[in-house]
Structure 1
Amino acid sequence: MLDLPALLAESGPMVPGPLDASPLVVVDAAAPDVDRTLSDGSVADVAPAGAVVVGLLGDERPVPGLLDLLDVALAPRGSRASDLRGVVVSDDVEADLAALHATSARSPHATWALARLLRLTAVLPARDGVVAESATYSSLLAGAEFRRWREENPPIQRPSDLDLSRVALRREGDLLEVTLTRSARRNAYDARMRDALLEALEVAALAPEATVSLRGEGRDFCAGGDLDEFGSAPDPAAAHRLRVVAHPGLATDRLRDRVTVHLHGHCIGSGIEIAAFAGDVRAAESTVLGLPELAMGLVPGAGGTVSLTRRIGRHRVLWWALSGRRIGVELALEWGLVDGVD
């Protein structure tokens, strides 16, 4: 573990080791000379560009500017820093660090890309953030980390369900009920569901007096993207453009004050990324949330670097993706990832 002055002394276009090595750098962010180290200039200007910086906070609140430098901020339970937006409370720092290191060692390029991307999406308007996210996602789809995951997890030959509906739409008075209906596949999000969901949200946009309720049929709200489709687009440039112009998350964002999403069961990847754009997100006690993309050599690609960052901050999004941890309702409520319990 480095101290902060040593890290900043190596600032600039520094790459910590070979490019295929983990970019994670752990620093003692509770060192007594941290305030002096940060006194000169903007922290963002001196952070090493090649590093993903994990800061271990102490029992006291961090000095001003420290969180700007860090990509992940861990604090022990009981720390006065634990209530700060973005800080992750740790009951076992060594175990947490081991999980972060394992993911970053497997997917160093995706880890670095996500850390850099989150700094952008934290400040960009939603559509610009989605453009940056999709461009990053597209580049990683062509990379060795995703290619290795795809080789380890080849598409499964299944009976086709292309003739089955993906979304049901029902209106009762001023309530428009939108239901994901691919329950046999745990509402796995595919291109047909994207298009059907966009059509339903377009109906809502044409009825400004209506409120929207979004639910999932079956045991899970949405267990994530359809893995059999990952990497299947024949033209990456066209896929990038399509992700931006046909984006259910952005459509939800435009209607956010009228949309309530009801989560239950597994809400993984795109299942929570799109939902988080809604103004009101409710979760059943059974809800389990996860971001699995880094282990696949990718970043969240359904708008999560925008929607989730807006709700819980970039530090927690990166920790969540790196840790591989599944989050329950209690922590989701504490962080503001969901707004209430159904």
Structure 2
Amino acid sequence: MNPDTQPARTEALTQDSLAGHALESAYSSLRSPFDAQPYLLIDLDAGTTCAPAQLRLLARWLEAQACPVIGIGSRTRGIGEACDLVLSDDAGLGGVIDNIVRAPLAAMTLVQVLRATTRMALARALSVESLAYSTLQAGPEFQRWSAANPPAPESIASDDGPAVLIERSEDRLQLRLNRPSSRNAMSVEMRDALVEAFELAAMDNSIAHVDVSALGACFSAGGALQEFGTAGDAASSHAVRSLRLPAATLLRCEAIVNVHVHGACIGSGIELPAFADRLTASPASFFQLPEIRFGLIPGAGGCISIPRRIGRQRTAYLALSARRINAATALDWGLVDEIVTTAD
């Protein structure tokens, strides 16, 4: 489907028809990743609004669907709150559906993780995200992308000095990402350096402030794509993330962490900063979750950190559309706390 060609609203179910469909598929999903239409559309403006008693039953049924549930319309309360994402109109729907159709397994896994972790303790939720991410690494969608983009870790550009510059001034620790030549890609080297820095902040009670920023044109363009596919088997990949995930160590000191981002903040370049107690952005910053294009979901903590700031539905929209949002939108949604002008 071309992103400019919007699906007909006739594809969408009305609220009146939901109860009948729920009865027909009470013990199975109405749609699945194996269907030609691996998503469920609901026209929120058509039909009669669900009664409260019926709403509770239908909300549980929608949350059990093995596919993204997309609401379209202005009546966002009621059944709209049970949808995985809500769009006010058809604009942008084509791009979301394109990505779902190209990677239906990743799309299903994304919404299942977001549903499951909404009220879960953060550390446990990170484990759920990692397990899901590892499953998709072994799946056909990522394998297809990986075959077309073979690993080439030796091609990652580097710079002099450590991957993260660390400076201590009294009770303040300053961390600066120091791989501008690779747009501060979250390589294994960068990941390990951040883990060690956050472990230091968590263990040293004399550190009261941790300021994180980056050198170069942007904060971080996300995971080093040249390393994708080098992690070995999926189970070992999950084990590595369980031991060396920057988000997990940041959580141990998040109350004292302030992050300032600028330029591109893509994938892990926003997933990790979103855990900070305070997150500021330069006016020209932009944010994107592109993982669906690789047959994956956010795997650096983004399924946990970003919903905590902007909610489950907007997170699903970012991840399924893979669209960029600018700093003004990020501030309006609550993804960042303030837009500030600094000497980046």
Q: TM-score, normalised by structure 1?
A: 0.88
* 3-state secondary structure, aligned to 1:220: coil
Cα separation, 2, equivalents of 1:221 and 1:31: 44
Cα separation, 2, equivalents of 1:151 and 1:252: 33
| Cα 1:18–1:286 shift into 2, 3 Å | closer
Q: Does 1:4 align with 2:15?
A: yes
Cα separation, 1, equivalents of 2:32 and 2:271: 33
Q: Does 1:146 align with 2:152?
A: no
Q: Does 1:293 align with 2:291?
A: yes
Checking the alignment, whether the CA contact within 8 Å between 2:44 and 2:80 is kept in structure 1 is no
Checking the alignment, whether the CA contact within 8 Å between 1:288 and 1:328 is kept in structure 2 is yes
- Give the AA of the match of 2:60: D
1:38-53, aligned counterparts within 5 Å?
39=54, 41-47=56-62, 49-53=65-69
* 1:28 CA drift (Å): 0.9
- Give the AA of the match of 2:21: E
Q: Does 1:120 align with 2:116?
A: yes
**Percent same amino acid at aligned positions?**
37
- Give the AA of the match of 1:287: S
Displaced runs of 4 or more, over 6 A? none
Counterpart position of 1:16: 31
1:189-208, aligned counterparts within 5 Å?
189-208=186-205
Cα separation, 2, equivalents of 1:203 and 1:51: 41
| Cα 1:25–1:234 shift into 2, 3 Å | same
Cα separation, 2, equivalents of 1:38 and 1:222: 47
Cα separation, 2, equivalents of 1:200 and 1:18: 41
Counterpart position of 2:70: 54
* 1:35 CA drift (Å): 2.4
* 3-state secondary structure, aligned to 1:331: helix
Cα separation, 2, equivalents of 1:153 and 1:102: 21
Checking the alignment, whether the CA contact within 8 Å between 1:71 and 1:314 is kept in structure 2 is yes
| Cα 1:274–1:143 shift into 2, 3 Å | same
* 1:159 CA drift (Å): 6.6
* 3-state secondary structure, aligned to 2:90: helix
Checking the alignment, whether the CA contact within 8 Å between 1:141 and 1:147 is kept in structure 2 is yes
Q: Does 1:110 align with 2:106?
A: yes
Alpha carbon RMSD of aligned pairs, Å?
A: 2.0
Q: TM-score, normalised by structure 2?
A: 0.88
| Cα 1:186–1:98 shift into 2, 3 Å | same
* 1:33 CA drift (Å): 1.2
Checking the alignment, whether the CA contact within 8 Å between 1:266 and 1:288 is kept in structure 2 is yes
Cα separation, 1, equivalents of 2:156 and 2:316: 36
Gaps of 5+ in 1: 76-92
Counterpart position of 2:165: 168
Q: 1:225-276 CA deviation, whole Å, 9 max, x = no partner?
A: 0001112112321210221232211221221221100000101001100110
Counterpart position of 2:240: 242
Counterpart position of 1:28: 43
Cα separation, 1, equivalents of 2:239 and 2:230: 15
Cα separation, 2, equivalents of 1:17 and 1:120: 18
* 1:61 CA drift (Å): 5.5
* 1:38 CA drift (Å): 5.7
